[in-house]
A and B are shown apart, each in its own frame.
Chain A
């Protein structure tokens, strides 16, 4: 190793690129072989400090272990484990496939770094963080998608939502939606159930109640009239203190109806624009049937 080359590289490698330093050394008259040999010596890791081939055995144990833990954790927290007969088995299989796929991705990323030739600490950091990151990403995403199923509870189901509004809006249409049972009630979300004045209409309903008493229910109903052009205002109607919601006594998360009166319009985004029929409270009926 040429000490003059080595000193030059050590003094400047933190600021300048390898190629720039090499080009400068070549311009100074040093041979390519001498320069490359010096780089190789300076870059050679200490063999006694590398992770070695035994890294892979520990890595596979960790990779499998972390994915099994995440898999079981998501199954428990999401309620899939107790709802295997109710569709949870399919979700569990999907989760397992997703975890396995991204475990392979994690292995690929780690393999590209050739960790067996790195220092033990570096190899440990890469071998631990990359699989953990992907496992948590997949597990967290699945948990967020599935949500809390509840112990033995059914999953959400798609269905049809029908909304009827009384004058002055006079609207009666239906569209697709989802019924989502919750531990203490249920939620109904629709896609576009129809159009009013050319604007898409969507509905969102959340009901929370004590299982034995229909009277003690609290609900939050929101109806949106979305805007499609810059000159249209998005309008929403939400439950207020004046709103009365009457839920059908036989209503469940998957089928039922309710009537509402005095659903209040939200504050206008542009108070200076001309008032129209969208400024008045509305009344009507909401019906849902899912599954």
Chain B
């Protein structure tokens, strides 16, 4: 475990935070490059991007706030503690960012769908960020006897208050996610938009990630909250249901059938 990457005097560089920042910068650069390539970069996009960042930051904390509300009440802390110190979730970040984009676009009167430009940027950012999680967080996953199970040193495990499987090999669940996001990124860069309707490629990626994350949670090592499911799994059920409903509606309304253009005029005498 490399929780702290470096100490420079009183300044501590945390591994997780650095990789998060690197992932964010890489994703942002790719996003703007894609917009620029298709000549749809607009000044309003910058404001929408800021709204997405803010919505993602708030959403990442809010979606897990219910897990610590009792603790906050007992400690006599203000409710804003969930925003400043609460646990964070990528799922909440994605949901909060998505909602912020929808609202800000309506507020600015921006009608063009730009979701597909996020489609490659998001898995890139997440792949990089998850490396930071792998290097600095425990447990890595549930105990396993598979040959690729990873064991951590007892001294590293002792630094974490909750690490039930740390005395043996664990599923490297964060690496599973890194692999998924890297594969998704590769496919999206190679293939480009996979569906003809703008924005649906992003939704397809989110649906795929939602299903993948639901399955990975069984070996992630998070605490079970209710019905034998972890917090992220409980959140994923309504989120992926919305995406499934979206695609079902698309198929039922034949949204993927493009209108046919007029045929080109034939040459005179032909």
Q: Which residues of A contact B (CB under 8 A)?
A: 2, 4-5, 8, 11-12, 14-21, 24-25, 28-30, 43, 45, 87, 90-91, 94, 105, 108-109, 112-114, 118-119, 121-122, 124-126, 129-130, 133, 137, 142, 145-146, 155-156, 200, 226-230, 234, 266-267, 269
Chain B residues near A112 (CB, 8 Å)?
Answer: 29, 32-33, 36
Tell me if B196 and A16 are in contact (CB < 8 A): yes
Choice from A8, A14, A125 contacting B43 with Cβ under 8 Å:
A125
Report the bound CA distance from A18 to B29 in whole Å.
Answer: 21
Q: Does B85 contact A (CB under 8 A)?
A: no
Tell me if B161 and A124 are in contact (CB < 8 A): no
22 pairs, CB–CB < 8 Å, chain A vs chain B = A12-B259, A14-B111, A16-B197, A16-B258, A17-B193, A17-B195, A28-B260, A43-B38, A91-B10, A91-B11, A94-B8, A94-B9, A109-B25, A113-B35, A121-B43, A125-B43, A129-B46, A200-B161, A228-B162, A230-B223, A266-B74, A269-B74
Q: Within residues 135 to 161 of chain B, which ones have a CB less than 8 A from any CB in chain A?
A: 161
Report the bound CA distance from A5 to B263 in whole Å.
Answer: 10
Tell me if B262 and A8 are in contact (CB < 8 A): yes
What is the 8 Å Cβ interface bit string for chain B, positions 29-62, against chain A (1 contact, 0 not)?
Answer: 1001101101101110111001000000000000
B interface secondary structure, majority: loop
Tell me if B262 and A114 are in contact (CB < 8 A): no
Report the bound CA distance from A108 to B43 in whole Å.
Answer: 18
Q: Within residues 92 to 118 of chain B, which ones have a CB less than 8 A from any CB in chain A?
A: 111-113, 116
Chain A residues near B38 (CB, 8 Å)?
Answer: 18, 43
CB distance from B32 to the nearest CB of A (A): 5
Chain A residues near B12 (CB, 8 Å)?
Answer: 145
Chain B residues near A130 (CB, 8 Å)?
Answer: 46
What 8 A-B pairs are tightest by C-beta distance, nearest first?
A: A20-B196, A125-B43, A8-B261, A125-B46, A43-B39, A17-B193, A122-B43, A121-B43
Q: Which residues of B contact A (CB under 8 A)?
A: 8-12, 21, 25, 28-29, 32-33, 35-36, 38-39, 41-43, 45-47, 50, 74-75, 111-113, 116, 161-164, 192-193, 195-198, 201, 223, 258-265
Chain B residues near A121 (CB, 8 Å)?
Answer: 43
CB distance from B35 to the nearest CB of A (A): 7
Beyond known contacts A29-B264, A91-B11, A126-B46: 8 more, CB 8 A cutoff: A4-B261, A8-B261, A14-B113, A24-B260, A87-B9, A122-B46, A133-B50, A230-B162
Report the bound CA distance from A156 to B9 in whole Å.
Answer: 10
**Residue ID in chain B nearest A16 by CB atoms:** B196
Choice from B8, B32, B264 contacting A4 with Cβ under 8 Å:
B264
**Residue ID in chain B nearest A108 by CB atoms:** B29
Report the bound CA distance from A267 to B245 in whole Å.
Answer: 46
Tell me if A228 and B161 are in contact (CB < 8 A): yes
Tell me if B261 and A28 are in contact (CB < 8 A): yes
Report the bound CA distance from A2 to B192 in whole Å.
Answer: 26
Choice from A11, A122, A155, A226 contacting B42 with Cβ under 8 Å:
A122
Chain B residues near A17 (CB, 8 Å)?
Answer: 116, 193, 195-198, 201
Tell me if A20 and B258 are in contact (CB < 8 A): yes
Report the bound CA distance from A4 to B262 in whole Å.
Answer: 7
CB distance from A177 to the nearest CB of B (A): 14
Tell me if B261 and A25 are in contact (CB < 8 A): yes
Interface core residue of B42, B75, B201, B258 (most chain A CB under 10 Å): B258
Interface core residue of A21, A125, A146, A229 (most chain B CB under 10 Å): A125
Tell me if B9 and A90 are in contact (CB < 8 A): yes
Report the bound CA distance from A189 to B47 in whole Å.
Answer: 41
Report the bound CA distance from A124 to B163 in whole Å.
Answer: 49
Report the bound CA distance from A125 to B46 in whole Å.
Answer: 7
Chain A residues near B112 (CB, 8 Å)?
Answer: 14
**Residue ID in chain A nearest B25 by CB atoms:** A105
Known: A29-B263, A30-B264. A15 touches B197 (CB 8 A): yes
Report the bound CA distance from A118 to B263 in whole Å.
Answer: 34
**Residue ID in chain A nearest B74 by CB atoms:** A267
Report the bound CA distance from A267 to B42 in whole Å.
Answer: 55
Report the bound CA distance from A269 to B70 in whole Å.
Answer: 9
Chain B residues near A146 (CB, 8 Å)?
Answer: 10-11
Tell me if B161 and A226 are in contact (CB < 8 A): yes
Interface core residue of A91, A109, A227, A267 (most chain B CB under 10 Å): A109
Tell me if B33 and A113 are in contact (CB < 8 A): yes
Report the bound CA distance from A226 to B159 in whole Å.
Answer: 11
Chain A residues near B36 (CB, 8 Å)?
Answer: 112-114, 118
**Residue ID in chain A nearest B21 by CB atoms:** A137
Tell me if B43 and A124 are in contact (CB < 8 A): yes
Report the bound CA distance from A5 to B201 in whole Å.
Answer: 25
Report the bound CA distance from A252 to B35 in whole Å.
Answer: 58
CB distance from B84 to the nearest CB of A (A): 11
Report the bound CA distance from A227 to B9 in whole Å.
Answer: 31
Tell me if A24 and B9 are in contact (CB < 8 A): no
**Residue ID in chain B nearest A105 by CB atoms:** B25
Report the bound CA distance from A130 to B223 in whole Å.
Answer: 38
Choice from B25, B43, B113 contacting A119 with Cβ under 8 Å:
B43
Tell me if B258 and A12 are in contact (CB < 8 A): yes
**Residue ID in chain A nearest B193 by CB atoms:** A17
Tell me if B193 and A91 are in contact (CB < 8 A): no
